[in-house]
Amino acid sequence: MTITPEKLIASLSWRYATKQFDSTRKIPAAMWDVIEESLVLTPSSFGLQPWKFLVIEDPGIRSNLCAESWKQPQVTEASHYIVLAARTDLNADDIDAWMSRMGEIQGGSPETRAPLKGMIEGFAQAMSHEARHGWNIRQTYIALGQLMACAAVLGIDACPMEGISAADYDKILGLEGSGYATVVGCALGYRAADDKYAAIPKARFERARMIKHV
């Protein structure tokens, strides 16, 4: 169960931050299901999954979010729009919830998981509230990366969206005081035939500048 190296690089080269989506094309439900599953399968530190992914279906909400995204048209024109939110803290309830879910799926007694639980608690307690939130935000970017890469492999276009007012997103989405806060958005769908950005050669630093074999 693998894709060829050539296909992988072709897919990653094909993807670009899509500026103009074809608003008439919708991602089929079965394909969208795979996209959601790719988010669920995202790895995270200790497996804690400190996030929520809000799939914004309501056109009115998407339009309100667009106004708080420098009016970037991707928010309303793409087939789908996701807001990735991070847990603002990591407390005993979060850790308990994860331990009990692991037990449900992997079996074993709470005692067998006690060392892991203790280690996570140690990590969490050694950090300030802000640091825990920051840690969760970093985990959430892993989900964004996985989302974009998986979309590309599936032939779905995407635009990660950091040009947003996270505080206004939180207000619009009712996240204030919920224990979750907006990190980043991602529009997904199909590029418009006339999106000139698709033809711009991909610019990256030379490999030797960023990869060192030690």
Choose the stretch contacting ligand FMN; rule: CB under 6 A; options: 12-20, 53-61, 78-86, 130-138. 12-20
Q: Which two tokens stand for residue 40?
A: 């669920």
Choose the stretch contacting ligand FMN; rule: CB under 6 A; options: 16-24, 29-37, 48-56, 117-125. 16-24
Nearest CB to ligand FMN, comparing residues 50 and 185:
185
Interface residue with ligand FMN among 3, 9, 17, 119 (CB under 6 A) is 17
Q: Which two tokens stand for residue 87?
A: 């847990």
> For ligand FMN, what does the binding mask look like between residues 38 and 77, x meaning CB under 6 A?
----------------------------------x-----
Q: Does 202 bind ligand FMN (CB under 6 A)?
A: yes
Q: Which two tokens stand for residue 47?
A: 């497996």
**Which of positions 152-191 make contact with ligand FMN (CB under 6 A)?**
159-163, 184
Nearest CB to ligand FMN, comparing residues 103 and 163:
163
Residues of this chain that interact with ligand FMN (CB under 6 A) are 16-17, 19, 72, 159-163, 184, 202
